[in-house]
Amino acid sequence: MCSGRVDLEFVLRAFSNGMDGVFVGGCRLGECNYVTHGNYYALNMVLLCKRLLEHIGLNPDRLRIEFMSSAEGILFARVMSEFSRQVRELGPLGESEGIGQQELKSRLAEVIKLVPYIKMVKNDKLASRLEGPEEYDRLFTRDEIDELFSTVVSYYIDPEKCQACMICARRCPVEAIIGAKNQVHVIDQEICIKCGTCYEVCPPKFDAVTKIVGGPVPLPIPEEERVLVRTG
């Protein structure tokens, strides 16, 4: 499998499932047999994931990526031995970082939930072609990741403006919008991936979808109050 198919969520879920370390191996940069050069994406994904681990208080050294050819068995064995030893020295996930298991699960779950949003916001950087290791630390900065989490975008449908036209519900790629004919629509924030499709397709004459940056989302109105009564 191409290393470019190793998704950010795969790595985070591995840690959520109790793995103490995650290793990603790929073919050498610049030597991909295909035009995709997915190993560059894998590298950028790992660099991003390391910053995310730092953000939630985990040691980024628990994640490692290396590039080598299939003929370099000796190199592979050496790298794996080094990484295994390093992970053992770090100890169980969360323990050396002073994070309890419940808190650790909660922090990872929050990041995993935001993976589609993070990938969308950082799409341009994830497609970068870095020239060398000296550029690795500059691709994603700690301040950048802190800002990312403090300005997370959410979307809310104003019940006073919604006309139950069903346009946003039909266009939502993850079916996160609850609604029916003559029923005020509501966004399920647990399912929403914050892609902004509802915001873009809501007819300007209604202007029912509100974009909220870094703030709390109002609670949805009770189901029994969602019936839209049309007058005139």
How far, in Å, CA of 125 to CA of 168, rounded? 29
Q: At what angle do helices 38-55 and 142-150 cross, to 10 degrees?
A: 70
* Residue of 163, 165, 168, 160 lying closest to 218 (CA atoms): 160
pTM over 0.85: yes
Report yes or no: 182 and 202 within 8 Å, Cβ to Cβ.
no
pLDDT band at 184, cuts 50/70/90? very high
Residue 191 scores a pLDDT above 70: yes
pLDDT tens column, 6-49 = 999 999 999 999 999 999 999 999 888 777 889 999 999 999 99
At residue 32, the pLDDT reads 81
Enter the CATH code of domain 153-225: 3.30.70.20
Task: Report pLDDT for 135.
Answer: 93
Per-residue buried b or exposed e for 90-108, using 16+ beta carbons within 10 Å of the residue's own CB: beebbeebebeeeebbebb
**CB 196: neighbour CB atoms within 10 A?**
14
Domain extent listing, the chain: 3-150, 153-225
Q: How far apart are the C-alpha atoms of 120 and 126, rounded to whole Å?
A: 10
Helical H segments across the chain, by residue range: 8-16, 38-55, 73-90, 101-113, 115-121, 123-126, 136-139, 142-150, 167-171, 197-201
Average pLDDT over residues 62-89: 95
What's the pLDDT tens digit per position in 126-139? Answer: 999 998 899 999 99
> Residue type for 63, please?
L
Q: What is the mean pLDDT of residues 44-58?
A: 98
- pLDDT-derived band at 231, boundaries 50, 70, 90: low
Residue 78: is its pLDDT beyond 90?
Answer: yes
Residues in CB range of 225: below 8 A, 6 or more apart: 159, 184
% of the chain at pLDDT higher than 70:
99
Give the closest residue to 198 by CA, choosing from 215, 183, 212, 216: 212
Supply the pLDDT for residue 229: 77
DSSP β-ladder status, 209-213 and 183-187: unpaired
